[in-house]
Amino acid sequence: MDTPAQKKRPRGRPRCDASRTQILEATNALLEEVGYARLTMEGIAARAGVSKATLYRWWPGKGAVAMEAFMDATKPRIDFPHTDSAVADVTAQMHLLAAAYRGATGRLVRELIGLGQGDPQTLAAFVESYLLPRRAAAKDVLRRGIAQGELRPDINLELLVDALYAPIFHRLLLQHGPLDDAFIRGIAASAFAPALLPR
Protein backbone atom coordinates (compact mmCIF):
# COMPACT_ATOMS: atom_id res chain seq x y z
CA MET A 1 0.00 0.00 0.00
CA ASP A 2 1.43 3.32 -1.06
CA THR A 3 1.61 6.35 1.10
CA PRO A 4 -1.33 8.35 -0.16
CA ALA A 5 0.15 11.80 0.47
CA GLN A 6 3.65 11.02 -0.74
CA LYS A 7 5.97 14.02 -0.88
CA LYS A 8 6.31 15.28 -4.43
CA ARG A 9 9.86 16.50 -4.58
CA PRO A 10 10.02 19.68 -6.71
CA ARG A 11 12.27 19.74 -9.71
CA GLY A 12 15.32 21.91 -9.05
CA ARG A 13 18.11 21.96 -6.55
CA PRO A 14 16.62 21.56 -3.11
CA ARG A 15 16.85 24.32 -0.59
CA CYS A 16 20.13 24.25 1.24
CA ASP A 17 19.15 23.65 4.85
CA ALA A 18 22.52 24.66 6.17
CA SER A 19 21.88 28.18 4.87
CA ARG A 20 18.65 28.49 6.80
CA THR A 21 20.29 27.35 10.00
CA GLN A 22 23.29 29.62 9.56
CA ILE A 23 21.08 32.59 8.80
CA LEU A 24 18.91 32.10 11.85
CA GLU A 25 21.95 31.56 14.06
CA ALA A 26 23.68 34.64 12.69
CA THR A 27 20.51 36.65 13.17
CA ASN A 28 20.14 35.54 16.75
CA ALA A 29 23.77 36.36 17.46
CA LEU A 30 23.38 39.82 15.97
CA LEU A 31 20.11 40.44 17.79
CA GLU A 32 21.91 39.59 21.01
CA GLU A 33 24.82 41.87 20.16
CA VAL A 34 23.32 44.96 18.61
CA GLY A 35 19.57 44.62 18.97
CA TYR A 36 16.93 44.79 16.31
CA ALA A 37 17.28 48.46 15.48
CA ARG A 38 20.84 48.06 14.25
CA LEU A 39 20.31 44.69 12.65
CA THR A 40 20.88 44.79 8.88
CA MET A 41 20.30 42.32 6.10
CA GLU A 42 23.84 42.89 4.88
CA GLY A 43 25.17 42.12 8.33
CA ILE A 44 23.18 38.89 8.50
CA ALA A 45 24.35 37.83 5.05
CA ALA A 46 27.99 38.55 5.86
CA ARG A 47 27.83 36.80 9.24
CA ALA A 48 26.07 33.76 7.85
CA GLY A 49 28.35 33.51 4.80
CA VAL A 50 25.32 33.74 2.58
CA SER A 51 24.41 36.01 -0.30
CA LYS A 52 21.76 38.67 0.10
CA ALA A 53 19.78 37.12 -2.72
CA THR A 54 19.32 33.99 -0.61
CA LEU A 55 17.99 36.08 2.27
CA TYR A 56 15.51 37.86 0.06
CA ARG A 57 14.50 34.63 -1.64
CA TRP A 58 13.11 33.26 1.58
CA TRP A 59 12.16 36.28 3.67
CA PRO A 60 10.63 39.58 2.64
CA GLY A 61 12.70 41.72 4.98
CA LYS A 62 14.62 41.92 8.18
CA GLY A 63 11.47 41.87 10.28
CA ALA A 64 10.56 38.44 9.01
CA VAL A 65 14.06 37.04 9.51
CA ALA A 66 14.28 38.42 13.02
CA MET A 67 10.90 37.04 13.91
CA GLU A 68 11.69 33.57 12.60
CA ALA A 69 15.06 33.58 14.29
CA PHE A 70 13.49 34.55 17.58
CA MET A 71 10.83 31.88 17.23
CA ASP A 72 13.45 29.31 16.38
CA ALA A 73 15.41 30.13 19.50
CA THR A 74 12.38 30.35 21.79
CA LYS A 75 10.32 27.48 20.44
CA PRO A 76 10.52 24.74 23.03
CA ARG A 77 9.92 26.59 26.28
CA ILE A 78 6.33 26.80 27.42
CA ASP A 79 6.75 25.50 30.91
CA PHE A 80 3.97 25.64 33.43
CA PRO A 81 4.67 23.82 36.67
CA HIS A 82 2.17 21.14 37.53
CA THR A 83 1.12 20.99 41.18
CA ASP A 84 -2.38 20.38 42.52
CA SER A 85 -3.19 24.11 42.53
CA ALA A 86 -3.79 25.67 39.11
CA VAL A 87 -3.65 29.14 40.65
CA ALA A 88 -0.23 28.43 42.11
CA ASP A 89 0.96 26.99 38.77
CA VAL A 90 -0.07 30.04 36.79
CA THR A 91 1.33 32.42 39.37
CA ALA A 92 4.66 30.59 39.40
CA GLN A 93 4.84 30.78 35.61
CA MET A 94 4.11 34.50 35.74
CA HIS A 95 7.11 34.94 38.00
CA LEU A 96 9.29 32.99 35.58
CA LEU A 97 8.01 35.05 32.68
CA ALA A 98 8.71 38.31 34.46
CA ALA A 99 12.21 37.10 35.27
CA ALA A 100 12.84 36.28 31.62
CA TYR A 101 11.45 39.65 30.55
CA ARG A 102 13.84 41.44 32.85
CA GLY A 103 16.73 40.04 30.78
CA ALA A 104 17.78 39.68 27.14
CA THR A 105 14.53 37.95 26.18
CA GLY A 106 12.65 41.00 27.36
CA ARG A 107 14.60 43.28 25.10
CA LEU A 108 13.92 41.04 22.13
CA VAL A 109 10.21 40.70 22.85
CA ARG A 110 9.94 44.45 23.24
CA GLU A 111 11.71 45.10 19.96
CA LEU A 112 9.71 42.49 18.08
CA ILE A 113 6.40 43.84 19.33
CA GLY A 114 7.62 47.34 18.56
CA LEU A 115 8.58 46.27 15.07
CA GLY A 116 5.16 44.71 14.66
CA GLN A 117 3.46 48.07 15.22
CA GLY A 118 4.54 49.17 11.77
CA ASP A 119 4.36 45.81 10.05
CA PRO A 120 1.11 43.82 10.33
CA GLN A 121 2.57 40.57 9.02
CA THR A 122 5.32 40.55 11.58
CA LEU A 123 2.87 41.26 14.35
CA ALA A 124 0.58 38.52 13.13
CA ALA A 125 3.49 36.09 13.07
CA PHE A 126 4.43 37.03 16.62
CA VAL A 127 0.89 36.65 17.90
CA GLU A 128 0.33 33.38 16.10
CA SER A 129 3.61 31.73 16.94
CA TYR A 130 4.38 33.18 20.33
CA LEU A 131 1.45 34.73 22.10
CA LEU A 132 -1.44 32.43 21.27
CA PRO A 133 0.31 29.14 22.14
CA ARG A 134 1.26 30.58 25.53
CA ARG A 135 -2.25 31.83 26.14
CA ALA A 136 -3.64 28.43 25.16
CA ALA A 137 -1.32 26.72 27.61
CA ALA A 138 -2.42 29.09 30.35
CA LYS A 139 -6.06 28.46 29.59
CA ASP A 140 -5.47 24.71 29.81
CA VAL A 141 -4.10 25.10 33.30
CA LEU A 142 -6.98 27.35 34.29
CA ARG A 143 -9.51 24.84 32.95
CA ARG A 144 -7.88 22.26 35.19
CA GLY A 145 -8.47 24.68 38.07
CA ILE A 146 -12.15 24.83 37.18
CA ALA A 147 -12.40 21.05 36.96
CA GLN A 148 -10.76 20.72 40.35
CA GLY A 149 -13.23 23.14 41.98
CA GLU A 150 -10.54 25.73 42.57
CA LEU A 151 -12.00 28.36 40.20
CA ARG A 152 -15.59 29.39 39.45
CA PRO A 153 -16.88 27.55 36.37
CA ASP A 154 -18.54 30.64 34.92
CA ILE A 155 -15.45 32.78 34.46
CA ASN A 156 -14.48 34.23 31.08
CA LEU A 157 -11.14 32.55 30.45
CA GLU A 158 -10.07 34.98 27.75
CA LEU A 159 -10.67 37.91 30.05
CA LEU A 160 -8.91 36.27 32.97
CA VAL A 161 -5.81 35.57 30.87
CA ASP A 162 -5.79 39.20 29.77
CA ALA A 163 -6.12 40.38 33.36
CA LEU A 164 -3.19 38.16 34.40
CA TYR A 165 -0.73 38.85 31.57
CA ALA A 166 -1.64 42.27 30.17
CA PRO A 167 -0.04 44.13 33.11
CA ILE A 168 3.22 42.27 32.51
CA PHE A 169 3.33 43.30 28.86
CA HIS A 170 2.23 46.79 29.83
CA ARG A 171 5.16 47.33 32.14
CA LEU A 172 7.53 45.57 29.72
CA LEU A 173 6.56 47.88 26.91
CA LEU A 174 5.96 51.18 28.70
CA GLN A 175 8.61 50.78 31.40
CA HIS A 176 6.63 52.91 33.79
CA GLY A 177 7.22 50.62 36.73
CA PRO A 178 9.29 47.61 37.80
CA LEU A 179 8.51 44.04 36.71
CA ASP A 180 9.38 42.65 40.14
CA ASP A 181 7.94 39.85 42.24
CA ALA A 182 5.84 42.16 44.37
CA PHE A 183 4.13 43.45 41.26
CA ILE A 184 3.44 39.93 40.01
CA ARG A 185 2.01 38.93 43.39
CA GLY A 186 -0.25 41.99 43.32
CA ILE A 187 -1.71 41.42 39.89
CA ALA A 188 -2.13 37.70 40.46
CA ALA A 189 -4.01 38.40 43.69
CA SER A 190 -6.33 41.00 42.22
CA ALA A 191 -6.96 39.12 38.96
CA PHE A 192 -7.70 35.83 40.69
CA ALA A 193 -9.80 37.41 43.47
CA PRO A 194 -13.15 37.48 41.67
CA ALA A 195 -12.55 34.01 40.15
CA LEU A 196 -11.72 32.00 43.23
CA LEU A 197 -14.18 29.63 44.84
CA PRO A 198 -14.14 29.31 48.62
CA ARG A 199 -12.86 25.82 49.46
Residues that bind a second copy (CB under 8 A): 35-37, 110-111, 113-119, 123-124, 126-127, 131-132, 135, 156, 158-160, 162-163, 165-167, 169-171, 173-177, 183, 186-187, 189-191, 193-195
Residue 54 touches which of a second copy, DNA, none (CB < 5 to 8 A by kind)? DNA
Minimum CB separation of residue 135 from DNA in Å reads 30
- Cβ nearer to a second copy, comparing 5 with 37: 37
Q: How far apart are CA 161 and CA 159, in angstroms?
A: 5
Residue 180 is classified by DSSP as -
Q: Which of left, alpha, beta for 177 (phi over 0: left; psi -120 to 50: alpha)? A: beta
Comparing CA positions, the residue from 133, 137, 135, 146 lying closest to residue 80 is 137
Q: How far apart are CA 36 and CA 62, in angstroms?
A: 9
Is position 15 an interface residue for DNA (rule: CB under 7 A)? yes
The residue from 21, 40, 117, 156 that contacts DNA (CB under 7 A) is 40
Residue 11 touches which of DNA, a second copy, none (CB < 5 to 8 A by kind)? DNA
Residue 194 touches which of a second copy, DNA, none (CB < 5 to 8 A by kind)? a second copy
Is position 54 an interface residue for DNA (rule: CB under 7 A)? yes
CA angle 6, 11, 16 (to 5 degrees): 90
The residue from 1, 2, 6, 11 that contacts DNA (CB under 7 A) is 11
String of DSSP letters for 17-42: HHHHHHHHHHHHHHHHHHTTTT--HH
Q: How far apart are CA 195 and CA 151, in angstroms?
A: 6
Is position 7 an interface residue for DNA (rule: CB under 7 A)? no
Is position 121 an interface residue for DNA (rule: CB under 7 A)? no
